[in-house]
């Protein structure tokens, strides 16, 4: 019979090892943990009360925000024109684009969540630093495939750099829009456009509170 303390210590040790490996090596866990939390938040009765939407949105953002590598998202979305951005413009663009994406998509799921189930189909490694997690949103009449493309950062953390919904890459979609805007306008003007859109968005969200 092993003394209690030792077995307790063993359990703690095992948990630590498992958590550590799961945390740093499993791209699917990086997706699943925050998404499950978001679904809990969406179902949480405390947010069914009027005037709690903003708090709920901030809670959701706290969980999904860290899933993403917004530097990478921004850089890939701007693509070849990224070189025309000054360093301060790069930072400003990344920041406003991240906020804009967060607002847009969180508002969408807040308004539209009707007990959809998320099915995790699996993960493919393309190499040691690239992986793809395949999921499916199951609605009452349709299934929407959603794939998360991830890259392992130098700190060993997997981060999402693109989402593919029904075969449509978010990054590529914005890339075509940014390309068409940057053909006529400067990076500063594009940032201004995003800022305007964000302000307008925040105003609308505040009104819907």
Q: By C-beta, is 58 or 180 nearer to other proteins?
A: 180
Q: By C-beta, is 43 or 189 nearer to other proteins?
A: 189
Give me the residues paired with residue 119 across strands. 136
Q: By C-beta, is 58 or 189 nearer to other proteins?
A: 189
Q: Give the DSSP H/E element, type plus range, for residue 65.
A: none
Q: By C-beta, is 59 or 76 nearer to other proteins?
A: 76
**Residue pair 178/186 in contact by the 8 Å Cβ criterion:** no
* Measured distance CA(99)–CA(95) in Å, rounded: 6
Give me the residues paired with residue 169 across strands. 164
**Least distance (Å) between residue 78 CB and other proteins:** 9
Where do contacts with other proteins occur on this chain (CB under 8 A)? 2, 7, 10-11, 13-14, 17-18, 20-21, 25, 71-72, 75-76, 79-80, 82-83, 101, 104-105, 108, 111-112, 126-130, 132, 139-142, 149, 152-154, 162, 164, 166-169, 172-174, 176-181, 193-194, 197, 201
| Helix intervals (H) in 44-86 | 53-64, 70-78
**Least distance (Å) between residue 167 CB and other proteins:** 2
**Least distance (Å) between residue 34 CB and other proteins:** 20
- DSSP assigned state of 68: B
Alpha carbons within 13 angstroms on the beta-carbon side of residue 167 total: 0
**Least distance (Å) between residue 118 CB and other proteins:** 16
Q: How far is residue 3 from each of residues 7, 10, 13, 30, 127, measured CA to CA in Å?
A: 7, 11, 15, 36, 44
Q: By C-beta, is 35 or 159 nearer to other proteins?
A: 159
**Least distance (Å) between residue 29 CB and other proteins:** 13
């Amino acid at each position: 019979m092993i003394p209690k303390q030792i077995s307790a210590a063993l359990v703690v040790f095992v948990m630590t090892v498992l958590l550590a490996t799961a945390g740093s090596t499993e791209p699917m866990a990086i997706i699943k943990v925050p998404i499950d939390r978001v679904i809990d938040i969406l179902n949480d009765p405390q947010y069914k009360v009027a005037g709690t939407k903003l708090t709920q949105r901030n809670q959701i953002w706290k969980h999904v925000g860290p899933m993403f590598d917004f530097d990478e998202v921004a850089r890939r979305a701007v693509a070849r024109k990224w070189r025309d951005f000054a360093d301060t413009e790069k930072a400003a663009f990344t920041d406003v684009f991240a906020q804009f994406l967060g607002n847009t998509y969180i508002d969408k799921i807040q308004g539209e969540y009707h007990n959809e189930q998320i099915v995790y189909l699996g993960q493919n490694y393309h190499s040691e630093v690239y992986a793809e997690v395949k999921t499916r949103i199951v609605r009452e009449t349709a299934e929407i495939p959603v794939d998360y493309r991830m890259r392992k950062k130098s700190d060993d953390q997997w981060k999402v750099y693109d989402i593919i919904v029904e075969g449509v890459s978010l990054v590529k979609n914005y890339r075509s829009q940014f390309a068409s805007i940057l053909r006529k306008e400067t990076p500063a003007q594009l940032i201004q456009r995003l800022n305007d859109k964000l302000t307008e968005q925040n105003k609308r969200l505040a009104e819907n509170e």
